[in-house]
Amino acid sequence: MRVDIVNLTAHRGGRTVLTDVNVRVPSGTVLGLLGPNGSGKSTLLRVASGLSAPSAGRVDLDGTDLRTLKRGELARRVAVMAQEHSEEFEISVLDMVLLGRIPHGRGYGRDSDRDIAVAQHALRRAGAASLAERSFSALSGGERQRVLFARALAQDTPVLILDEPTNHLDIAHQIELLDLIRSTDRTVLIALHDLNLAARFCDAVGVLADGRLLSLGAPQEVLHTGLIRSVFGVESTAVAHPRSGDQHFIFDSRSTVPTDAPPPVHQFVPPQEETPAP
Amino acid sequence: MARTTLRRRAPASLARLLRRERPGDDGPAVPPAPVTNGRRRRDALAVRILVPALTAVLLSVLLMSTSIGTIAVSPADSLRIVVGHLVPGMPWMSDGSLSTLQDNAIWQFRLPRALLAATTGAALALAGALMQAVVHNSLAEPYILGVSAGAGVGAVSFIVLGIGVGSLGIGASAFAGALLATAAVYLLARKNGRIAPQRLILAGVALGSLFSAVTSYLTIATDAQNVFSIMFFLLGSVSAATMGHLALPVTALAAVGLYTALRARALNALLIGDDAAASLGVNVNRTRSGVLVAAALLTGSVVAVSGGIGFVGLIIPHIARILVGSDHRKMLPVALLGGAAFLASCDLLARTLAAPSEIPLGVLTAMVGAPFFLWLLRRDRAESVGMGR
């Protein structure tokens, strides 16, 4: 399912947090959203998942404005994995994943055998099958992330929206999760902090700063040391992976140069002279 | 066998999910037949045992309630009287084997009273469970919207200002007070079309205090002869019950029970937070408002007849969660039946323990219920539903 974000502007608490963002995510591709804290990634994902309303612009799913969809229809198209979670009452891991089946069921009905099969399958795929009987609140941060991802999988939607799903995960589980995301044929919008992982696993990356989309395209074209300096204020060195030849970034220090100064010359890869689109 | 059945029946979306198996994964290509895990099996088993068991307890308590009292009636005779009233043409109703006194004691006094106690218990337990779910707070109870405080003001004003006589008059003013308080708290908690749980709780507590102050003032300011009836109402009692009193609470219980049965899954989703529930297709605002209003009306209809009976609405839902987990599809029926059986038993004790005088029901629910709950709270089972944190 194709996701089109069109001229999107959003406010939160009276502040403009997104300004005129345009992104097209083709069906079955993975879009990584990068940017410093407070750059608008989470708001963009909230609007794209229908949890917040934009103040201007729209989000289309296969050409249909998502605000015209009923709640249930939207929940059968878009699954969300967010950070927020209430813990006043206890819930078992399997029950948590089974909540993902709500959009597919109705009324008081008990969970069907198929719902349970789908939930257990999702848990296995997320590497969390052994947790099924545990209490959700007794899990570690990384285990919770895997369970919440399993819930999003169990929702069985063509679009997945993931807000920093690799938080708290050890490196093996980060790679496993991102491999899993890549291997699905779903359309994925994912906020990430690790630029190297984003470059490796995303079909396209969008870089946000102060609510504006600075740059959008294939990771190799978008990510370079100049952009990292101007957006994150960090000096970096781009190196080629000794075996694959893929570009990797090594982070050196906080920039001392004002961010609008021309990028310094690096030893391994000459700086790409393109300036980020305004 | 189950596996092949599943494969054959696997709908398109499941088949799609299966094909997305990650490359190099040696795991089964088809999810094996659902093996319900131990926790779910235990909870499901608990429901299957508890629902019939609690129903049996409830029915026997009701039967005992009809046969115990100053006028001696054997359980068999009281059962015959009840059946005789429900089914026309029973021979024992006209052959003189049962006295009019016995018939009156059971049909006019004991049965309505026992039924009202059971209905009140069920209603308060249901309302408490609903309030706790929609405001994300395990300390929530049916009176959180100021319902009982409002009913108290209504009833006490009626007693003190003495507009009329009779229990129905007190009931009507109590119901009016409860509705007024609920409406006020609801409107105070609502901002920009959204009910914020935290604001709701605080508005309820603040307004409840205000109403309690009014009640206290009226109690102090009135003649001493009124104080006893005020205290009796505030502590809660079902002693004046008639079949007529049952109509409002029973109707409300049936309506709200049906309403929530259809929303049990949405309530489950609300447990994990508003955003998560919304992304699962739940209309969070409408569910919360609807359930709050339903629970408040249910509480109001019960408070109007039985007064403010504490403890049941707070504790019974927690006991149900300890026994069967927080899934509302399992927990609500257990809470409902448990509340009914608990309050019917308490009322039987309330009128027999210190006979011929009577212990206020609210006093007894706390004295019997609190030790039991505290015992349950210390057990490992309570830890597993998050009460050890």
> Least CB-CB distance to B326: which of A80, A84, A89?
A89
Chain A environment of B259 (Cβ under 8 Å): none
Strand partners, A135: A92
Last residue of one domain, picked from the residues A219, A243, A269: A219
| Rg of chain A on CA atoms, in Å | 20
Q: Which of A19-23, A199-203, B177-181 has the lowest mean pLDDT?
A: B177-181
Average pLDDT over residues A119-129: 92
- Percent of chain B beyond pLDDT 70? 86
Domain boundaries, position A255: 224-278
Q: Which two tokens stand for residue A144?
A: 């919770």
Average pLDDT over residues B333-341: 96
**In chain A, which residue's Cα lies nearest the Cα of B140?**
A88
How many interchain CB pairs under 8 A, A with B?
A: 149
Supply the CATH number for residue B235's domain: 1.10.3470.10
In a domain, A112, yes or no: yes
Chain A environment of B260 (Cβ under 8 Å): none
B346, B372 Cβ separation under 8 angstroms: no
B71, B78 Cβ separation under 8 angstroms: no
Supply the CATH number for residue A56's domain: 3.40.50.300
Residues A47 and A164 placed together within one structural domain of the fold? yes
* Residue A26 pLDDT > 90: yes
Q: Which amino acid is at A168?
A: H
In a domain, B174, yes or no: yes
B279, A80 Cβ separation under 8 angstroms: yes
* Residue B230 pLDDT > 70: yes
In a domain, B301, yes or no: yes
In a domain, B143, yes or no: yes
Domain boundaries, position B254: 40-63+100-384
| ipTM for the whole complex | 0.84
* Residue A127 pLDDT > 60: yes
Residues A179 and A245 placed together within one structural domain of the fold? no
Q: Which of A48-52, A261-265, B154-158, B181-185 has the lowest mean pLDDT?
A: A261-265
Last residue of one domain, picked from the residues A169, A203, A219: A219
> Least CB-CB distance to A74: which of B27, B281, B384?
B281
B332, B51 Cβ separation under 8 angstroms: no
In a domain, B18, yes or no: no
Domain count across chain A: 3
Residues A3 and A65 placed together within one structural domain of the fold? yes
In a domain, A41, yes or no: yes
In a domain, B80, yes or no: no
Residues A260 and A241 placed together within one structural domain of the fold? yes
Q: What is the pLDDT of residue B168?
A: 60
Residues A7 and A72 placed together within one structural domain of the fold? yes
Helix H or strand E segment including A176: helix A171-183
In a domain, A149, yes or no: yes
Chain A environment of B133 (Cβ under 8 Å): 89
Higher pLDDT, B60 or B225: B60
Domain count across chain B: 1
In a domain, B13, yes or no: no
* Residue A8 pLDDT > 50: yes
Distance CA B308, CA A25 (A): 58
Residues A24 and A135 placed together within one structural domain of the fold? no
> Least CB-CB distance to B34: which of A49, A107, A113?
A113
In a domain, A23, yes or no: yes
In a domain, B53, yes or no: yes
Residues A142 and A170 placed together within one structural domain of the fold? no
In a domain, A82, yes or no: no
Chain B environment of A89 (Cβ under 8 Å): 132-133, 138, 271, 321, 326, 385-386
Q: Which contacts (CB < 8 Å, 24+ apart) does range A265-269 have?
A: A266/A225, A266/A237, A266/A238, A267/A237, A268/A237, A268/A238, A268/A239, A268/A240, A269/A225, A269/A237, A269/A238, A269/A239, A269/A240
Which strands form A78-81's sheet, in the order they lie side by side?
Answer: A78-81, A159-163, A187-191, A30-34, A204-209, A212-217
In a domain, B270, yes or no: yes
Higher pLDDT, B28 or A242: A242
Whether the ω angle into residue B356 lies within 30 degrees of 0, i.e. cis, is: yes
Residues A12 and A100 placed together within one structural domain of the fold? no
Q: Do A51 and B11 touch (CB under 8 A)?
A: no
